[in-house]
Chains A and B, each alone.
Chain A
Amino acid sequence: MNEIDDDNPYGYAPAIWRLFRGAPNAGVFADGTAGVISAEAGTPAARSVLRLALRIDGDRVAEGRFQAYGCPTTIAVGAWIAGWCAGRTIDELRRLKAADLREALEIPEDRAHCALLGEDALKALLTRFQEQRA
């Protein structure tokens, strides 16, 4: 994790900057951790890939992790979702939309695709969760 010791010379929204520089919840779960579901969205060619991993205990998320290759906003979206999911129910996760991400992180119009990437990664993860349950 980075030390947050500098102001924000490129003028990112404060929440984005904080989450990018701190990158809380970055990383993966140790191999063999029980109840982990992961999924990803995006492509290297589009220069943004977001992978989410959630440790799910019953109907609730116990813990979230993310990995990201992309711009600071993409990294911030990953960090935010991984943190937000912890302690929430699967139903709550289903209701999270790109618009909520944009509002929470003050994501500008020209970076709306980063919020969509977050929504897509979560959706993919929930689909996989559904498949496993079924």
Chain B
Amino acid sequence: MPIYLDHNATTPLDPRVLETMLPYLSGPYGNASSVHRYGRAARDAIEAARVQVAALAGAEASEVTFTSGATESNNLALKGLTEGRVPSCVLYGATEHPAILEAAESLRPHGWQVETIAIDRAGLVDWPAFEAQLARGPVQVAALMLANNETGVIQDCARAARLVHDAGGLFHVDAVQAGGKLAFSFADTGADLMCLSAHKLYGPKGVGALLVRSHVELLTQLHGGGQERGLRGGTENLAAIVGFGAACELAAAEVGQRVARWTELKARLEAGLRALSGITIFGNGSPRLANTVQCGVAGWEGEALLMALDRKGIAVSSGSACAAGTGEPSHVLIGMGWERDIAFSAIRISLGVATTEAEIDRFLAVLAELRAQAVAA
């Protein structure tokens, strides 16, 4: 069986989640917008899932809008907050996911001033620079991720929210990687919007959510049908929404034990990595997700190492799956101020609920073997 250590790219569906989805996949449930009997049952299931998602994120059910995934959620957040408004400034962290980065950059031609929020070498917001940036002028929205998809570095979003609010702006949090890996609360972060994805927390692909506080005025980006209280048109993806809800409920119940397990496994992994020479663990001193390690491996290109590991049946990544195969170094590491050559050498190992000590040991052994071969060659 191949060893899968790329859970930040996507997770396998939890079999318990699949069980909850099956009746909605193969059952006679109609279009959730139809008024007849099956439609009512479908709507009830969607509302139950909304409660489950809200509970994981410390939000109100009424704040949850279902989307086709985090990319749509992030696009809806940034475009929905800027469309039809007098352009001012949009800020996003230098290490954000491409969905935020590209959605923000797409606003430039519409007259918006788009700037990055400086991130330091440890992966954390450069607070003095951020404060100075906020002081310079009106900001419509600032976006930061709660936990970085590559380094796993956890950002102090509550602090950022206070600063952005003091400057009169709205604050959006991409919590895709934090969901199910970290206990957090939408209410406590003070964020105005937050996005989540199901397939990062053992739910199905093709569904996500945008949490929106009631005071936020957001314009729909998917017109038609009036679903999701007019915020997001389109027939609801019933089975996926039900699965998302179930995955959130399981994550909320199990996050403590998952984190405890990952913490042990990560300690084992990092100890093993440190025993090898030429390894740099990014964001090392910063608070990080318990399941994520991104490291530079001196003398290797990350993509080449990834392929060599893949041939040995081990799946890791060199960064975001969404930027895979572009031949560019990780924009996250570049954004943190790391040099291109070390950024090129990065691989990301992300653990899952089923990851074992034996898998970690096997990965470490293969990595050591590949390095030895490279040195010999």
Do these two chains interact?
yes
Query: In the assembly, what is the distance between CA of A35 and CA of B37, in Å?
Result: 45
Q: Is B136 an interface residue (CB 8 A)?
A: no
Q: Is B275 an interface residue (CB 8 A)?
A: no
Q: Least Cβ distance of A110 to chain B in Å?
A: 14
Query: In the assembly, what is the distance between CA of A10 and CA of B37, in Å?
Result: 7
Q: Least Cβ distance of A68 to chain B in Å?
A: 22
Q: Is B36 an interface residue (CB 8 A)?
A: yes
Count residues on chain A whose CB falls below 8 Å from chain B CBs: 3
Q: Is B40 an interface residue (CB 8 A)?
A: yes
Query: In the assembly, what is the distance between CA of A9 and CA of B36, in Å?
Result: 6
Q: Is A44 an interface residue (CB 8 A)?
A: no
Q: Is A58 an interface residue (CB 8 A)?
A: no
Q: Is the interface of A mostly helix, strand, loop or mixed?
A: loop
Q: Is A32 an interface residue (CB 8 A)?
A: no
Q: Collect the chain A residues with CB atoms within 8 Å of residue B324's CB.
A: none
Q: Is B35 an interface residue (CB 8 A)?
A: yes
Q: Which B residues, 18 to 41, have Cβ-Cβ distances below 8 Å to chain A?
A: 35-37, 40
Residue-wise interface mask of B (68-102) relative to A, using a CB-CB cutoff of 8 A (1 in contact, 0 not)? 00000000000000000000000000000000000
Report the nearest B residue to A8, measured CB to CB. Answer: B37
Q: Least Cβ distance of B128 to chain A in Å?
A: 55
Query: In the assembly, what is the distance between CA of A10 and CA of B35, in Å?
Result: 7
Query: In the assembly, what is the distance between CA of A11 and CA of B37, in Å?
Result: 9
Report the nearest B residue to A11, measured CB to CB. Answer: B40
Residue-wise interface mask of B (36-73) relative to A, using a CB-CB cutoff of 8 A (1 in contact, 0 not)? 11001000000000000000000000000000000000
Q: Collect the chain A residues with CB atoms within 8 Å of residue B35's CB.
A: 10
Q: Least Cβ distance of A7 to chain B in Å?
A: 8
Q: Collect the chain B residues with CB atoms within 8 Å of residue A11's CB.
A: 40
Query: In the assembly, what is the distance between CA of A83 and CA of B37, in Å?
Result: 30
Query: In the assembly, what is the distance between CA of A9 and CA of B42, in Å?
Result: 12
Please name 7 pairs of A and B residues whose Cβ atoms are closer than 8 Å in the assembled complex, sorted by A.
A9-B36, A9-B37, A9-B40, A10-B35, A10-B36, A10-B40, A11-B40
- The 3 A-B residue pairs whose C-beta atoms are closest, nearest first, are A9-B37, A9-B36, A10-B35
